Amino acid sequence: MRNDTRLIGARNGRAVLLLATLLLFLLAACGGADTGGDKPVTLILAGYTTPREAYREIIPLFQAHWKEQTGQEVVFEESYLASGAQSRAVLEGFEADIVALSLEADVTRLVDAGLITHDWKSVGGDGMVSDSVVVFGVRSGNPLGITDWHDLARPGVEVLTPNPKTSGGAMWNILALYGAARRGFVDGVPANDEAAAAAFLRDVLKNVSVMDKGARESITNYEQGVGDVIITYENEILVGQQAGHDYEMVIPRSSILIENPVAVVDSYVDKHGSREVAEAFVQFLFSKEAQEVFARHGLRAVNDEVAAATATQYPPLADLFTIDYFGGWREATPTIFGDNGIYTTVFANLNVPTP
């Protein structure tokens, strides 16, 4: 009897062993698949969410271009997160060869950390691969009659804009809003009156009902029917309309020019041995071919020829200012979004009842 049970036990043991071996094989199969002879080169792209659709078209173009030039295949691994989150991930060890982010400050962080050592702002003009403008989205037919910034402060207007603490896009939105007010392009706010501009910022923020993590989440929320007006990028509206949504775009008289940086991450390309192809990819992004793709996906081209050809789709604004109005990101980030920044202060005091 006892021998019997031992026998069964032994058989069970063998079965377990067999299962474990099978499992190990299964797990190893994945790693094993990579060990080919002639390896294609891999590029890791860390992007912000907005230009994702454009990159999906540009990448095959570049793959064909590189294959034609060198005979080598390029495999892309892409990650798209909110710009700030992506920048922090790269900082913490996400070994992306190329970063394509929403704003310069997120690249500067990598420069300060010593991950980017070359003069990335000398590539392709000024390192900025695409432009856009902060605009509004309104419901079909513009039922609330939104025409410019001052309408967003009207009582009862529900505004969506993402959270500037997590989203680069939201920082642009706040800067556009505050900048337009300070420059005298908001009715009732005198030019160069910082206190009045801050008060206007407060009035609009009071109307904000949802602050999403990122720009794309914000607009998909708007598409689900939340809010009356969304402050967002021009390209978000255009891409949404291309996807069949019927909201409309209102371009304010005054807004900020959004400039999106792209850069090769020196530390990681050197580690991966992919510098040559990574630099070629960044160069390619400035080519007419790639710029046309950006323009098709709602982004303003930085290539003069393409910009001229698409000028009707992207009308000029009466007052278009850049981040330089705030002294560049190095100054704007602390003075507007720092612990004692204008936005931070206004936002912190929003819920405090006035005595």
Partner 1 sequence: MATITTVVRGRPSTRSSVWRRRLLIGVVALYVGLLIVAPLVALVRGAFLEGAAAMWQVINQPGVWRAFWQTLQIGVVVVVVHTVFGTAVAWVFVRDDFRGKWLLNAIMDLPFAVSPVVVGYMLILIFGRRGLLAPLLAAWDIQVVFALPGMVLATLFVTMPFMVRVLVPVLEAFDVRQEQAAATLGAGGWFTFRRVTFPALRWGFVYGITLTFARALGEFGAVLVVGGGIQGRTETVPIYIFRALDERMYTGAYSAALLLGLFSILLILGTDWLRRRRQE
Smallest distance, Å, CB 53 to partner 1? 7
DSSP annotation of 131 reads: E
Which residues partner with 229 through β-bridges?
Answer: 138, 159
CB 23, CB 58: distance < 8 Å = no
Q: Is 61 in the site for partner 1 (CB under 8 A)?
A: no
Assign residue 36 a region: left if phi > 0, alpha if psi is -120 to 50, beta otherwise? beta
Binding mask 269-288 for partner 1 (x = CB under 8 A): --------------------
Q: Is 160 in the site for partner 1 (CB under 8 A)?
A: no
Q: Is 199 in the site for partner 1 (CB under 8 A)?
A: no
Task: Figure out which of the listed residues 41, 61, 91, 317 binds partner 1, where binding follows CB under 8 A.
Answer: 91
Q: Is 220 in the site for partner 1 (CB under 8 A)?
A: yes
- Rounded to whole angstroms, the Cα distance separating 333 from 105 reads 8
CB 207, CB 158: distance < 8 Å = yes
Task: Figure out which of the listed residues 4, 38, 195, 243 binds partner 1, where binding follows CB under 8 A.
Answer: 243
Nearer to partner 1, 86 or 207 (CB): 86
Nearer to partner 1, 5 or 122 (CB): 5
Task: Figure out which of the listed residues 106, 203, 212, 217 binds partner 1, where binding follows CB under 8 A.
Answer: 217
- Give the number of other CB atoms < 10 A from CB of residue 129: 27
User: Which of 173, 298, 208, 207 has the alpha carbon at shortest distance from 245?
Assistant: 298
Q: Is 78 in the site for partner 1 (CB under 8 A)?
A: yes
- Rounded to whole angstroms, the Cα distance separating 260 from 129 reads 6
Residues that bind partner 1 (CB under 8 A): 5, 9, 12, 23, 26-27, 30, 44, 46, 49, 52-53, 77-81, 89, 91-95, 216-217, 220, 243
